[in-house]
Structure 1
Amino acid sequence: MNAHKVEMGRRLFYDVRLSGKAGTACASCHRQELAFTDGRARARGAEGDLHPRSAMSLANVVYAPALGWADPDTRSLEAQAAIPMFNRQPVEMGVAGVEEHVLARLRADSDYRRLFAAAFPEATGTLALLHVRRALAAFQRTLISGDSAYDRLVYRDDAAAMGPQARRGMRLFFSERAGCAKCHAGPGFSGPMDFEGAARAEAQFHNTGLYNLEGRGRYPQGGQGVFEHTGRTEDVGRFRTPTLRNVALTAPYMHDGSVPSLRAAVLHYAAGGRNWRDAVGSGRAAANPHQSEDVREIGFDETEVDALVAFLESLTDWAFVSDPRFANPFGPAPAERAPSAAIRNAR
C-alpha cells in the first residue's frame, strides 16, 4: 500500500462515475460526518433499490475479521468492494453489465491516469476493476478512529475527558451484570478477541432477539442473517456485532435500522429482546429459540439507561469525522450535512 494508492482509493470512494448510472458513489451510503454511515434505516442503491440492510460504519474496518452484516466468508476489503459494485439483488452501484463503460469514464480522467501509474507501477495494461478494488481497499484501511473521550481517559490518563455520568455508564458497560462487553469487546467495541488479541470471525455474529415472528424464531424474509449463507436453522437471526465507536452518529441501529435511537437500543437489550408486531406475524423476540444466551433481561433503571447512553456518546471521535484526509476530494456534495446540534452538544 502506498500513498498514491490511498489517494486513488479516496477519489474512487467519492466518485459517482464509479456507478453504472454515474449518480451514486460509495460515499452516498458511507458519509464521513456520520462515521461513514448514511443516517437511513436501509440504504438505497443507484437504481432506487432499497437494500435490506442498514449501511455499516467503516471506522476501523481494517480490523474486522469478517465484513458485512451477515456474511462470515468475505474477509478481505478487496473482495468486499466487488459486492456493492456487482450486486443485482438489490442493485447497489449497478456496475454489472456496464463494466467497460464505467472503466472508460475513469480511464478518460487524467487524474486517474496519473494516480494509476504511481499506485500500480507494476501494471502493464490499463486501469481495470481489480485495480479499483485494490485502491478502494487501501483507502478504507486508513479509516482509523481512536481519539474519543474514552480513549483520552483510558489511554492518555486525561481525567477531564469524561464526566461522572459517562464514567458511571462505562463501569456499567464493562460489568458482569450488564454484559455489554461480552459482544462489544476489544478496542473496537466490536467483538471478542482470542488470547493473542486477534478478533475471532466465528464469534462476531449474534441473534439479539430483534424478531421472533409467529413465535417460531423467524426473522423477516431477506433479513435472516447468517442463515442466508449457511442454511443452518441455528443461524437464523445471527448478524455481525457492529463497532460502537462513533455510535452516537450512526443511528438508526440494528441490521435493518429498526431501532431509532441509542436510548431505544439500550432499552432493547435491557428488556432482553422486544415485543414485535407487524404485517407478517407477531411474537415476543425475547423467546426466540436461537437468541444469544448473552441477551437476557437486565432491568436497568432510568439513571442507568442515561449513564449508558452518556458512555456510548463518549465513544465519538470528532477528529475522525472531520479529518481532511478522509474527506471528499471533489468538495462537499449537497446531501452532506454536519451532525445535528444534539449530537454536537454531546461532546
Structure 2
Amino acid sequence: MFARNLVWLLGVVLLGAGGVYWLTDTAPEAPYVWSIPAHYPAPLVPADNPMSEAKVALGRYLFYDRKLAGNGKQSCADCHQQAHAFAEPLATSIGSTGELHHRNASALVNVAYNKTLTWSHPHLQEIERQVLIPMFADNPVEMGIAGHEQQVLKALARAPYPELFNAAFGDEEVNFLRVTQALASFVRSLVSFSSPFDRYAYQNDDSALSAQQLAGMELFFSERLECHHCHGGFNFTQSTTHQNQPINRFAFHNTGLYYTHQPQSGQWGYPEHDRGMIDVTLNPGDEGLFRAPTLRNVAFSAPYMHDGSIATLSEVLDFYAAGGRVIATGPLAGDGRKHPNKNQFIKGFELTEDEKQALLAFLESLSDAHFIRNKQYANPWLLDEQPAVDQ
C-alpha cells in the first residue's frame, strides 16, 4: 500500500478523468478510438490532421515500405523495429545510402504524447514536420527522397495504395502532404500501456510487481536518486503533453556524458559533430542538452543515450551513480562530470548491489510485451512483396 501511495504522491497517477476525446475542429466520418485505457488522457491531435483508422492503415503500409526511400532500399521500420520498441539495436543508425549517422534511433513509444520531437530540437513539436527530416534531409541522408520525388510517388501508386489513399482522403491522389499525414497518424497510434507497472499502479493488481520491483520503484521515486525529476509522469518523461496538460515542461538536460577537448575550436565540451541543443539555439548554455526520453519499454531499446554510447541498463545506472562519465583515453577523453552545463540532479549516488538489481527490476516492469508483439503495429506487407536490402 505504501508503494502505491508513493505513486500517487509523486504525480504518476493522472489528474483528471481520462477517456477518449476528439480534440480537433474537423471530425472524420468515424471517430478514431485510441487503444488506451480509460484512465489515461487522450493525446492532443492537430486540427488539420485528425486521426482516422484509414489514415493509420495507410501510414502503416508506408512505414514498412522500402520503396519510400529514394533508392528503394530502406523503410522507416528498418531503423524503428517493433521488437526493439521501434528503436534498433545499433548505437547509431545507417541511412539508405549506407551513410553512418551520429544519433541513436529513438524508440517510438507513446510519441503522440511527446511535447517535443527528436533528441535536441526544442521547437519541433509536430510529428508531421518531424517525419520530413528522415524523408528529405541530405545531411545525413536517411530515406533519401530528395531528388527522387517522382520515382517515389510513382511507387506509391501501386496496389494496395489506390484503395488506401481513397479510404483515407476520399480519392486516390498521391502527394507528400498526404504521405506525411498518414505516417504521422500511424506513429501517433503506437501507444503502450500494458506493462506490469500499469497493472499495479492503475488496475490495482497488487501481484503485478514483485517485492524487488516495488523496492526498485521506491528508489526510482526517491530524492536520493532523483530519477523521477527527468523521467516523471505517466509517460516517464518530462516531454509530455495531453488533454489535461497542454503546457510545456523543459525536458532537455546535460547529463555529463562528455567534457572533452575539441581540436577545431580548442574548447572543452561535447564532441563538435553533435553538441546537442546548442546546434539549434546557438546558446552556449544549451551545449550537451538532449531530451529525456520515455523509460517505457526501455529494456527493449538498448543501446542508450543520444549516441548509443552506453550499451546496457546496468551501465546506465553506473553512469548516473558516478554523476557523469569519465573517458580516460582516446579522442573523447575527459571528465563529463565537470561540464558547466551538467544538470543539478546529476550529482551521483551510492547503491548496494541489491538496490541496483531492484532498480533494474523496476525498469523491467515498464516493459509492455503486448506492444512489441501487437499485430496492429506489425509489417502488413507479405515478405515476398518487400525487396531485400542490398548487403
Q: TM-score, structure 2 length as denominator? A: 0.81
1:303 pairs, out of 342, 345, 354, with 354
Instruction: Report what 1:51 is aligned to.
Output: 101
| Aligned residues of 2:113 and 2:240 also touching (Cα < 8 A) | no
Please say if 1:8 is aligned against 2:55. Answer: no
Query: Which whole-Å deviations, capped at 9, do the CAs of 1:136-160 have from their partners, x for residues lacking one?
Result: 0111111110110101011111111
Q: Over residues 238-296 of structure 1, what are the superposed CA-to-partner deviations in whole Å (9 max), with x where a residue is unaligned? A: 00001100000000000000000000001111111010145324221111111011111
Give the Cα–Cα distance (whole angstroms) in 2 for the partners of residues 300 and 200 of structure 1. Answer: 35
Q: Alignment partner for residue 110 of structure 1, among 159, 168, 173?
A: 159
Indicate the SS of the match to 2:60: helix
Q: Which structure 2 residues correspond to residues 249-260 of structure 1 after superposition, within 5 A? A: 249-260=300-311
Using the alignment, how far apart are the partners of 1:170 and 1:80 within structure 2?
33
CA distance in 1, matches of 2:283, 2:348: 26
1:154 corresponding residue in structure 2: 201
Distance 1:177 1:195 in 2: 29
**What is the letter of the counterpart of residue 53 of structure 2?**
A
| Residue among 228, 238, 242 paired with 2:293 | 242
CA displacement 1:91-123 (0-9 Å, x = unmatched): 00000111111101111x1311111111012x6
Moved more, 253-262 or 160-169: 160-169
Matches of 2:147 and 2:240 in 1, distance apart?
41
SS in 2 for 1:203: coil
1:133-172 superposed matches below 5 A: 133-172=180-219
| 1:122-201 aligned within 5 A | 126-191=173-238, 198=245, 201=248
Task: State the partner residue of 2:76.
Answer: 26
Offset, 1:199: 6.6
* Separation of aligned partners in 1, 2:241 and 2:110: 18
Q: Secondary structure at the match of 1:224?
A: coil
Q: Is the 8 A contact 1:182 1:192 kept in 2?
A: no
- SS of 1:319's partner is helix
1:323 and 2:369 aligned: no
How many residues are paired up? 332
Structure 1: how far apart are the matches of 2:314 and 2:259? 22
Residue of structure 2 equivalent to 1:88: 138
1:209 aligns to 2:270 (yes or no):
no
Checking the alignment, whether the CA contact within 8 Å between 1:252 and 1:261 is kept in structure 2 is yes
Change in Cα spacing, 1:157 to 1:85, as seen in structure 2 (3 Å) is same
- Cα distance in 2 between the residues matched to 1:91 and 1:163: 45
Q: Is residue 260–residue 333 contact of structure 2 (8 Å, CA) maintained in 1? A: yes
Shift of 1:229: 0.3
- Give the aligned partner of residue 338 of structure 1: none
Per-residue deviation, residues 284-315 of structure 1 (Å, max 9, x unmatched): 11111110111111112211111111100110
SS in 1 for 2:214: helix
Q: CA deviation at 1:196?
A: 8.7
State the alpha-carbon separation in 1 of the partners of residues 309 and 250 from structure 2.
23
Number of the residue aligned with 1:342: none
Q: Structure 1 counterpart of 2:316, which letter?
A: A
CA separation in 2, counterparts of 1:202 and 1:225? 18
Is the 2:239–2:292 Cα contact (8 Å) retained in structure 1?
A: no
In 2: Cα distance, 1:130 partner to 1:331 partner: 26
Q: Is the 8 A contact 2:66 2:387 kept in 1?
A: no
Higher fraction of helix: 1
From 154, 159, 169, the counterpart of 1:120? 169
Residue type of the partner of 2:279?
E
Is 1:191–1:199's contact at 8 Å kept on the other side of the alignment? no
Give 5+ residue unaligned stretches, structure 1.
Answer: 336-347
Is the CA contact 2:115–2:240 (under 8 Å) kept in the aligned structure 1?
no
Q: Greater CA deviation, 190-199 or 125-134? A: 190-199
**Matching residue within 216, 222, 230 for 2:281:** 230
For the aligned residue pairs, the C-alpha RMSD in angstroms reads 2.0
Q: Percent of pairs identical after alignment?
A: 42
Deviates more, 1:26-35 or 1:215-224: 215-224
Instruction: Quote the offset at 1:200 in angstroms.
Output: 5.2
Conservation of the 8 A alpha-carbon contact between 1:14 and 1:27: yes
- Structure-2 change in CA distance of 1:55 and 1:202 (3 Å): same
Letter in 1 for 2:352: D
Equivalent position SS for 2:260: coil
The letter of the residue matching 1:74 is: L
3-state SS of paired residue (2:342): coil
Extract unaligned runs of 5+ from structure 2.
1-50
Amino acid at match of 1:99: E
The C-alpha deviation readout for 1:4-44, integer Å capped at 9, x for no partner, is: 11100000000000001101000000011110001110011
